Amino acid sequence: MGKIRVLLADDHAIVRAGFRKVIEQIEGLEVVDELGNGPQVFAALEKEPADLLIIDVTMPDFEPISAIRRIRELFPGLKILVVSAYDDDFYVKGLLGAGVNGYHLKDQPLNDLRLAIERVLVGERWISSALISKLVKSPEQANLLPDLTDRQREMLRLLQQGYDNKAIAQQIGLSIKTVENHLTRLYRRIDVQSRLEAVNFLGRFPQILGTPGTQAAREDGDTLKRVIKSAGILVVDDNTHYRKQLLRMIGKACPQAVIYEAKGVQDALKLAKRMEFRLAFIDVILGDEDGITCTRRLKALSPHTRVILISAYPDREFHRQGIESGAAVFLDKKNLDLPTLRQVINDVIA
């Protein structure tokens, strides 16, 4: 398999050298040309195909919006990552609308540029975190977020994974029209205008996927609640019915908690890479996976998270392996009632 061909376009040679240094650290990438103005960019693209264009659009003889639109029309498969010093939201939105795949600020660490390149190459959109607050109208405070319904949180997760409307409809068993209606309500709820803005919102506020305890306790809700990050609780169980039941009980036992749910090991670890949990309830049996492995990997990511292993099969060997993997307690599901939950949660959070 050939290398990914990269064009660097910036009118400052020292900046291009910095770009090149980052690219050379990424396996499988090759810088095939360096360019300093608009005509050179078009000439290089027409000369031979490239896979990725990393460009500062404020170069000489280069009108940003119209030029990017033309490049997108002529080379629809080309990935375009803008690296710029300009953080004006109108300017950024214009370029995103013209078809760039990412917008990165020059004042960010070089390691972030590497991450931006990798994300763009796998088909994701990238926007520097410093720009997100300009592009997304967030709540008045970062810790004041709208409650979402289970369906809206599911929609956000699927958007983050890159599902289009048709794929979402197939995944959750709804018509495309119904999915469109759900997305419209979701966008209105989090005050964004598009799929990209919704994903960026989730990147800025990953805690939006959690369920406030007050909402979990009453099974539904649509009001603003203050998110208390210090009381994050994770529930990992592949049985949807039981998982929801446990969420409701936790909500009653600890209304100030923010509760996150995962149906398997990978879902749990994705959350743990982005959030710090005080407490996790993990079922030993997770379909073809197991909660003991989940516990071990979760503790490696988040050693301060207290893990409670739960099971409908209180096997002694499960108990032994669970404690060895880092779990603090092993509980039989039939004994996991509201008083027990209150005691466990109070020991950790109160």
Residue ending a domain, among 135, 159, 191, is 135
- Residue 241 contacts by C-beta under 8 Å, 6 or more apart in sequence? none
- The residue range of the domain holding 123 is 4-135
Both 217 and 171 in a single domain?
no
Enumerate residue ranges in the chain where pLDDT < 70: 1, 89-90, 133-145, 204, 207, 210-231, 314, 348-350
pLDDT at residue number 143: 46
Say what the pLDDT of residue 4 is.
Answer: 94
Same domain, 171 and 290: no
**CATH number of residue 121's parent domain:** 3.40.50.2300
For residues 223 and 340, state if they share a domain: yes
The greatest distance separating any two alpha carbons of the chain, rounded to the nearest whole angstrom, comes to: 73
Based on the domain organization, do 203 and 218 belong to the same domain?
no
Give the model's pLDDT for residue 139.
39
What was the pLDDT predicted at 281?
95
Looking at the structure, do residues 292 and 314 belong to the same domain, yes or no?
yes
- Give the residue from 103, 135, 167 where a domain finishes: 135
Query: Same domain for 148 and 222?
Result: no
Q: Which of 106, 135, 164 is the last residue of a domain?
A: 135
Q: pLDDT at position 133, please?
A: 61
- 160 and 42 share one domain: no
Looking at the fold, whether 109 and 237 belong to one and the same domain comes out as no
In this predicted model, what pLDDT tens digit does every residue of 242-298 receive, in sequence order? 888 898 888 888 877 788 888 889 989 988 887 778 899 999 988 788 899 999 999
Q: What is the CA radius of gyration of the chain?
A: 24
pLDDT value at position 349? 58
Per-residue burial over 324-341, b = 16 or more CB atoms within 10 Å of its CB, e = otherwise:
ebbbbbbbebeebeeeeb
pLDDT score of 98? 87
Shared-domain flag, residues 193 and 272 = no
Q: Give the model's pLDDT for residue 220.
A: 42
- Domain shared by 307 and 196, yes or no: no
Q: What is the pLDDT of residues 6-32, one digit of tens each?
A: 999 999 988 899 889 999 889 999 999
Which CATH number does the domain housing residue 163 bear? Answer: 1.10.10.10
Taking a C-beta distance cutoff of 8 angstroms, is the pair 208, 200 a contact?
no
Instruction: Kindly report the pTM of this predicted structure.
Output: 0.44
The rounded distance, in Å, linking the Cα atoms of 65 and 75 is 15
Total domains present in the chain:
3
Residue 204 and residue 214 in one domain: no
Residue 90 and residue 115 in one domain: yes
